[in-house]
Structure 1
Amino acid sequence: MGPHEKYAACVQGLKSYAANAGFTEAVIGLSGGIDSAVAAVMAADAFGAERVHGVLLPGPYSSDHSVDDAQQLADNLGIDAQTISILEPFEAFERVLAKACGGELKGLAAENTQARCRMVCLMALSNAYGWMLVNTGNKSEAMMGYSTLYGDTAGAFAPMGGLYKTDVYAVGRWRNEQALRAGEVPPIPENIFIKPPSAELAPDQQDEKSLGIAYSQLDRILVAQVEQGKSVEEIVREGIAAQETVLEVLATVERYAFKRAMEPPFPSDTFYR
């Protein structure tokens, strides 16, 4: 499948799931990153822009450019967008949990608490208005356990759950190109494509540094093994990565199976068959 077919499958999957579940409107967190941007565009195409509600949820480490990029995306799409800061609830959790966490809420516990504060806000809106929460995760993150349980794994449906990170960029580029050809403003700001992906849960955090591998190489390993069933030896022989790297990636995939069990449903996994 090319970007066109993959994008269409994601949108149709989201549209069908929402209709079957009785949802007519959607809510989605807008971080200013590529995943939430592409998911938001898919939601607008599936529900109609007037029925998609974006929420900017800045925290202690959110950059100005991410907030600006998220707002520009919402403006380009013509979707409703509001901002709810998670600073106060996060600071409250820091105070309440400090003693129980050894004197300070820090490290992974602090990072994941931010993600869970965002989930609480999004689910409150979902419950208050009957909006379907659209998950923004992708398959690369799910395979590597690079997500927060009860945080960014929340949502009724994950339209990009069968797409690897490199696919997300590709379908986003394709969708922008289609807008240009139609004489429309490309929905996804260029800065979202070119900046290093980051969850912005810690100072200067970048996804690829946290993962210890570039998405381009990671996805080649995952597609070769998970989708094509190639052995470690075959992957190494094809020059995709060194044996140590391949073994480390596959061990991580196995270790985080419990997280994948908690991921929302997503379009039928036929992209690589």
Structure 2
Amino acid sequence: MSSKDDTTRLNTTALLLWDPNRPESMEASLRIEKELGSMGVEFIKGDTNSTESFTDPLDTDVAIVIGGDGTMIAQARRLVDHDVPMIGVNCGRLGFLAPFSPESLISHAQSVLGDEKTLEQRVLLKVEIHAADGGATRVMRAMNDGLITAGEPFRMIRMSTRIDGQDGPVLFGDGLVIATPTGSTGHNASTGGPIGDPRLDALMVTPIAAQSLAFRPFALHGQSTLEAVLHQVNEGTSLVLDGQIRVPLESGDRITFSRHEKTVAFVACPGRPFWRILHDKLGWAASPGGYGGDLL
């Protein structure tokens, strides 16, 4: 006889991704596997340290990713071509993209692993690098952001931009951030850019220490394309994607940023909407002294 009532058993296969080098990740994976396994969930296990692509088709209903924000971002790039919804279980420092704890995932398993789950489609960034020497165009993608950074020896760099084929602002400064709504709480927010609801179809563009006070952060429609051409660079000038992938840049290189045709589906955590997570995780606009009550 089954240990669970057949009416509550889950006919679900989950890809369980965890880091075997981190004890807390291993502990969480063992607990999730035990508790959800007793509810009828079958598991395929994977290592979050792997950079290998998953086989296609990937025979799973959902991916449970154990880790922090960096882990979620890296696994999103691996999973995007397989159209597998992702559940983030936080074992990192902030866990902004991983709203579940092992306890909340287990307690909400019937809804988030069943037919009642709510999916949030997250925009990805498509980045094309056209080398000045006429070499092959590199096409890459990012979950959070693309950052053109001045790099060593940290002199200001100069680049011109075009938006949908029209002349845009010229930057003389330390760099430029192009972020998805999901990534708007990262480098973009730290450099003064706007925070966007992750469901938006938009891209945020924020200069880093621009010499001109007239170059302010702005948002592009998701169907727009921004092109940046580098005119003056440093030895260390580079493009950084999601804080994880670095590509050296040279004068004359042209980089285009646009919305990727693919999206990544995140499973929403019940009772944890984006603005609540923003407040709880980042202490968004908290009152001085940690006062958390009503002001009136």
Q: TM-score range by the shorter chain?
A: under 0.3
- Which structure has greater strand proportion? 2
Larger Rg: 2
- Which structure has greater helix proportion? 1
Higher relative contact order (CA 8 A, sep 6+): 1
